[in-house]
Structures are given as structure tokens and as C-alpha cells.
């Protein structure tokens, strides 16, 4: 029995212990965070989670939780420590700042059991203040941390309309910029979800060999090729030979779907071309009114559907739209729907700047058009409609191959695992 205990201790010592730090974690809608922990554990890492009391996205604490009490739970064999925070997710800068800063403080003070046991911290760094407990552990215990930069701070904060001007904006921007630069500099390694974001961080002074692209993979058990739901066209009164362009996702200001509807108005000479918009969002009512005002019977609005039902519905369309506004941040943003569509083997039309269009066209997986340009978008739709369907399906297969080669869970989870184990080895070497 003594030999067995000794062997277990040796095995435990050889297993890297990872503190996964994220302000949001299920039961909140945080599938990427959950997927990361599962993938790391599947690759032999010992993972514990340090997160906040569930309150996202409404800013209200979930039932059976308290905003002021630390909780510890075990889910699927994963130990999860939740520390208090100020619940808020409205558009008030003060409330949002209180939410971020309160959790940064409580996780640092009350997350000691996770932080002290770890060989390395992995920070899901949106918001960037989630790095505070990892930075503290680095200063106190020399625990290295890997920073997963999911969006660009402080740029993304002000791009969403917070603190647009004045002295408060200048002070906040200076403080966030200073903290972000320090978080980048002290990290053992940084991962980003797109090539454009990597280039931006390097331009801001980080060594290129310190920054790796780790794509956010999709739910590959759900997002995969499947037979089309033949009921969709019948429900909308469409013929099998009609050309269907589909958009599934949020219908908000960032997507600029008004330009897409304007593009459809330029295609009235092609009555067999239809646009199907699936989902909800702040702009949906205005988009519907715009289509009605233009007399476009070729634009159809459907409610959001469960993710499990989406692949078969999407397979009933000929082409799939990715649309983003022409904003500087979106040049380095890769919408998660790109990975989902590629994994499903579906051809894309990307009406967005930067990485999304480049990845799809380089993969031979579809078409691209400049954002917010209805004339050129309508031209791209005409080209797609004139493309034989077997060629469109071949584009989809090219996209699926690109996904599995570059964006899959197998590829990117291994990159992340290698980054973490390298950080642990460096720490052990320094200790010796």
C-alpha cells in the first residue's frame, strides 16, 4: 500500500496543476470557457476553476447563489471556486466597473486555495481585470500565468460606448492601458483567437515568440455536416431551385444587416434570390421595417433556434452570411460563426473586414465583399447565385478541411496544452 501511495504522489507531482481563471463560467453562457477546461483535462492536466458568482448576462445573481458569499462546488469532477462580486451588466460605466473590480478583488483574496495549489494560471482575459489574481500569484509565489486575450483592451471598452469623452475617459483609458501593458509584459505567454489580434499585440511591444494564435473551436459534436431540413423551404414557400442566403445570429448594430437588406433591394431582378435571417437582436424590428418599406418579399425573418437544430436548418441554404461593421476592432475580430460554418462544411459569404474574409477566401471556402457596401455585396451575391451548386458544396468541403487543419479542438487544445506545460517547465527550471 505504501508503494501505491508513493506512486500516486509521484504521478500527481508530474501532472501540471492549472488554475483556470475566468470571471464567467457555466451555468452562465460561457461555452468556450467550459470547452477549454474539458479539453485540458482530456490531455492530462489537473484543472481547478476560479470564477465569479453567476450573474451574466442579465446582471442578476442566479437562484441558489449569493453575491456576497464564496461557494465551492464540484461539477463533472471539476472543482469550481466562486467568489463574490457586484452583479451588473447594464450600460452604466460605474456598474460595469464595479462588477469587474469587485470580482478581481474577491478572487485574489478568496481564491487562494486554487491559486496556491497551481503550477500555472490560465487567464481567460475578458475582461482584462481577470488577470489580477494571476498577477498577484506571480508576485507572491512566482506562479507563471498564460493570458488568453479574447478581445483588445482598453480599445473594446470604449468602442462599446462607455466613457466616450471627458476627463473621466482620459483617466480610465490611461489606467486601463497601463494595467493591460503590465499584464501582457508579466505573462509567461499570450494566446489570441485571430492572426490580426496577434499582429496588433506585437505592434504594441510584445515579443512575437511570446504570442500564439489559439483559435476558439466550435462545438464539434453539434456543428458538423448533416442532411438539410427540407421543411424550411416549404415553410417559407420557397422552391428547391431558389437561391437562399442565410444569416443566423445576433441582429445588432455591430452586424450592419441594414446594408445586407439594401443589397437585396438591388437584386429585385432575381426573384429566386432570398435572404433568411434567423435570430434576434436590438435591430431586428428596424430591419423588418426596412424590408417592408422596400417591399422586399424576398427577406424572411425567423426566430432563434436551439443550437442542436441549427446545422440541419443551415444545410437547407445555399450560402451563409457573416456580416460585421467596418470598425477598427472588427479588422482583428473572428466571429465564432466562422468556425461553426466551416466545421459544418457550408460555403460562406463574408461581408466583414480583416481576418474573417481573409481566412475564408484563403481556404477557398466562399466569397467576400467589403463591409457596409450594398452595391458590391449585391454583386457578390450575384456571383454566388451563378455558381453551380456542386461548386458551392466543394467550397464547403474546402472550408471543413481548413477547419480541421487549423481551427479544430484537437489542434488548438494541444497548442494551449503545450504552452501551459512549457510555462510549468520554465518555472521548475528557475526553482532549481
Domains of the chain: 8-217+409-431 (3.40.50.2000), 231-405 (3.40.50.2000)
Residues 358, 51: Cα–Cα separation, whole Å: 35
Q: Could you report the per-residue pLDDT of 340-357, keeping only the tens digit for each? A: 999 999 999 999 988 999
pTM value surpassing 0.85: yes
What's the average model confidence in pLDDT over 315-323?
97
Q: Which residue has the higher pLDDT, 160 or 169?
A: 169
Given this model, what pLDDT does residue 186 score? 97
How would you class 65 by CB atoms within 10 Å of its CB: exposed for 0-12, middle for 13-18, buried for 19 or more? middle
Contact 316, 234 (CB under 8 A): no
Given this model, what pLDDT does residue 7 score? 39
Residues 348, 83: Cα–Cα separation, whole Å: 42
What's the average model confidence in pLDDT over 300-324?
95
Contact 311, 320 (CB under 8 A): no
Pairing, β 299-302 against β 17-21: unpaired
What's the average model confidence in pLDDT over 224-246?
95
Residues 430, 175: Cα–Cα separation, whole Å: 32
Nearest of 300, 266, 301 to residue 280 by alpha carbon: 301
Contact 222, 308 (CB under 8 A): yes
Q: Could you report the per-residue pLDDT of 255-268, keeping only the tens digit for each? A: 999 999 999 999 99
Residues 214, 88: Cα–Cα separation, whole Å: 30
pLDDT at 165 over 90: no
Contact 191, 212 (CB under 8 A): yes
Given this model, what pLDDT does residue 374 score? 97
Q: Mean pLDDT, the chain, as a whole number?
A: 92
| Phi and psi angles of residue 43, each rounded to the nearest 5 degrees, phi first | -100, 15
Q: How many CA atoms lie within 13 A of 288 on its CB side?
A: 11
Q: Residue 23 in 3-state DSSP?
A: coil
The three three-digit cell numbers of residue 289, written as one number:
421595417
pLDDT-based confidence at residue 76 (cuts at 50, 70, 90): confident
Region of 366 please: left (phi>0), alpha (psi -120 to 50) or beta. Answer: left
* Sheet (strand 120-124) strand order: 71-75, 78-83, 46-52, 17-21, 120-124, 145-148, 189-192, 211-213
What's the average model confidence in pLDDT over 216-243?
95
pLDDT at 59 over 50: yes
What's the average model confidence in pLDDT over 378-390?
98
What's the average model confidence in pLDDT over 272-287?
95
pLDDT at 8 over 80: no
pLDDT at 209 over 90: yes
Q: What percent of the chain has pLDDT over 70?
A: 94
Q: Could you report the per-residue pLDDT of 77-87, keeping only the tens digit for each? A: 899 999 999 99
pLDDT at 226 over 70: yes
pLDDT-based confidence at residue 6 (cuts at 50, 70, 90): very low
Q: Could you report the per-residue pLDDT of 129-159, keeping only the tens digit for each? A: 999 999 999 999 999 999 999 988 877 776 6
What's the average model confidence in pLDDT over 85-95?
84
Amino acid at each position: 500500500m505504501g508503494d501505491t501511495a508513493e506512486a500516486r504522489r509521484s504521478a500527481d507531482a508530474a501532472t501540471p496543476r492549472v488554475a483556470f481563471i475566468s470571471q464567467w463560467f457555466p451555468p452562465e453562457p460561457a461555452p468556450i470557457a467550459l470547452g477549454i477546461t474539458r479539453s485540458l483535462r482530456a490531455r492530462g492536466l489537473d484543472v481547478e476553476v476560479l470564477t465569479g458568482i453567476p450573474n451574466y448576462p442579465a446582471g442578476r445573481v442566479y437562484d441558489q447563489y449569493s453575491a456576497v458569499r464564496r461557494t465551492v462546488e464540484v461539477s463533472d469532477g471539476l472543482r469550481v471556486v466562486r467568489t463574490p462580486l457586484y452583479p451588473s451588466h447594464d450600460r452604466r460605466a460605474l456598474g460595469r466597473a464595479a462588477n469587474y473590480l469587485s470580482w478581481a478583488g474577491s478572487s485574489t483574496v478568496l481564491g487562494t486555495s486554487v491559486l496556491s495549489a497551481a503550477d500555472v494560471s490560465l487567464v481567460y482575459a475578458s475582461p482584462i481585470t481577470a488577470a489580477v489574481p494571476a498577477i498577484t500569484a506571480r508576485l507572491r509565489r512566482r506562479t507563471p500565468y498564460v493570458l488568453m486575450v479574447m478581445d483588445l483592451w482598453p480599445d473594446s471598452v470604449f468602442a462599446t460606448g462607455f466613457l466616450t469623452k471627458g476627463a473621466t475617459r482620459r483617466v480610465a483609458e490611461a489606467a486601463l492601458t497601463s494595467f493591460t501593458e503590465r499584464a501582457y509584459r508579466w505573462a509567461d505567454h499570450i494566446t489570441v483567437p485571430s492572426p490580426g489580434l496577434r499582429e496588433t499585440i506585437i505592434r504594441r511591444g510584445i515579443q512575437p515568440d511570446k504570442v500564439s494564435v489559439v483559435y476558439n473551436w466550435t462545438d464539434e459534436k453539434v456543428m458538423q455536416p448533416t442532411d438539410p431540413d427540407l421543411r424550411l423551404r416549404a415553410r417559407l414557400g420557397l422552391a428547391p431551385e431558389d437561391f437562399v442566403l442565410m444569416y443566423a445570429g445576433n441582429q445588432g448594430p455591430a452586424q450592419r444587416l441594414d446594408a445586407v437588406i439594401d443589397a437585396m433591394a438591388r437584386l429585385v431582378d432575381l426573384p429566386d434570390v432570398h435572404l433568411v435571417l434567423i435570430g434576434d437582436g436590438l435591430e431586428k424590428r428596424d430591419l423588418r421595417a426596412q424590408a417592408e418599406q422596400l417591399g422586399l418579399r424576398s427577406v424572411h425573418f425567423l426566430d432563434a433556434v436551439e443550437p442542436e437544430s441549427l446545422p440541419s436548418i443551415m444545410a437547407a441554404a445555399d450560402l451563409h452570411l457573416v456580416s460585421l461593421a467596418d470598425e477598427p476592432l472588427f479588422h482583428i475580430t473572428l466571429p465564432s460563426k466562422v468556425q461553426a460554418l466551416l466545421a459544418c462544411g457550408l460555403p460562406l459569404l463574408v461581408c466583414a473586414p480583416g481576418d474573417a474574409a481573409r481566412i475564408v477566401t484563403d481556404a477557398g471556402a466562399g466569397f467576400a465583399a467589403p463591409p457596409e457596401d450594398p452595391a458590391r455585396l449585391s454583386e457578390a451575391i450575384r456571383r454566388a447565385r451563378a455558381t453551380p451548386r456542386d461548386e458551392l458544396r466543394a467550397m464547403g468541403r474546402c472550408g471543413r478541411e481548413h477547419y480541421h487543419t487549423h481551427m479544430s479542438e484537437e489542434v488548438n487544445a494541444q497548442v494551449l496544452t503545450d504552452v501551459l506545460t512549457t510555462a510549468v517547465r520554465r518555472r521548475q527550471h528557475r526553482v532549481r
